[in-house]
Structure formats: structure tokens, C-alpha cells
């Protein structure tokens, strides 16, 4: 089973350059968490799955911590997910920085980090 949260939008101050850390930027986050349910999903119990509301709230908190690299942010998100959901088989996080400061028109830059259990 995979629980996903895609297109979560944030404004944050991540960036290598001082200007990025001062003016901030818009970011989009996509998360996919694959797992085997510990119980029958027909039990209709939130404890038997990955809570995408928790995913959003956790990413909200991680985005508030200013970092130079979006790779670092994405890894922190994975670390939090694996800690909260030890039954996760794999986690994929895509973090997009919209309109990065490159001196050219670019839709976004992005990093994709993955975790695979075992």
C-alpha cells in the first residue's frame, strides 16, 4: 500500500546564497510512503496506516528550519517518517524550489531522495 501527499506548498528560507535565505522562496513537496498494513484496512482505523495529515504537519515544521540545501530538508523529512512509521518499506520525497535564483527563467529545481528498508 502507498500513502501519498503531493503538491504540498510552502514558503521557506532555504538556499545556499544569503539572498535566498533573506527573501525566501516557494516550495512544493511530494511524499510517497509504501508499507504493508499491520491489520486489515477494513478495520477503518487510522493507526493501521500512514496519516497524511501528520505528514503535512511534520513537513510544515521541517520547512521552518532554515537550511542551505534542499537535499538536507528532504533527508530530514525522510528521517522523521521512518522514525514515526517504522513499518515503512520505502519512502520517496521530492522537494521542488519554484523559480530558483539562476538568472534565467526556470520553473523549478528539485531533489528526489529515497529510503528503502533493509
pTM (predicted TM-score): 0.94
For the stretch 34-52, pLDDT in tens is: 999 878 878 888 888 999 9
pLDDT at 11 over 90: yes
- Sheet containing 88-98: give its strands across: 2-12, 25-35, 88-98, 108-116
What are the residue ranges spanned by the domains of the chain? 2-116
What mean pLDDT is predicted for residues 66-74?
97
- Identify the CATH class of 2-116: alpha beta
What mean pLDDT is predicted for residues 85-101?
94
Q: Which residue has the cell 512544493?
A: 28
pLDDT at 101 over 90: no
Amino acid at each position: 500500500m502507498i500513502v501519498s501527499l503531493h503538491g504540498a506548498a510552502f514558503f521557506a528560507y532555504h538556499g545556499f546564497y544569503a539572498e535566498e535565505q533573506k527573501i525566501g522562496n516557494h516550495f512544493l513537496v511530494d511524499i510517497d510512503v509504501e508499507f504493508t498494513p499491520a491489520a486489515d484496512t477494513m478495520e477503518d482505523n487510522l493507526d493501521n496506516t500512514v496519516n497524511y495529515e501528520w505528514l503535512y504537519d511534520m513537513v510544515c515544521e521541517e520547512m521552518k528550519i532554515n537550511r542551505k540545501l534542499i537535499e538536507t530538508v528532504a533527508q530530514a523529512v525522510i528521517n522523521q517518517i521512518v522514525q514515526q512509521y517504522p513499518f515503512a518499506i520505502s519512502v520517496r520525497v521530492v522537494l521542488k524550489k519554484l523559480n530558483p535564483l539562476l538568472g534565467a527563467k526556470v520553473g523549478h529545481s528539485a531533489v528526489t531522495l529515497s529510503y528503502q528498508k533493509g
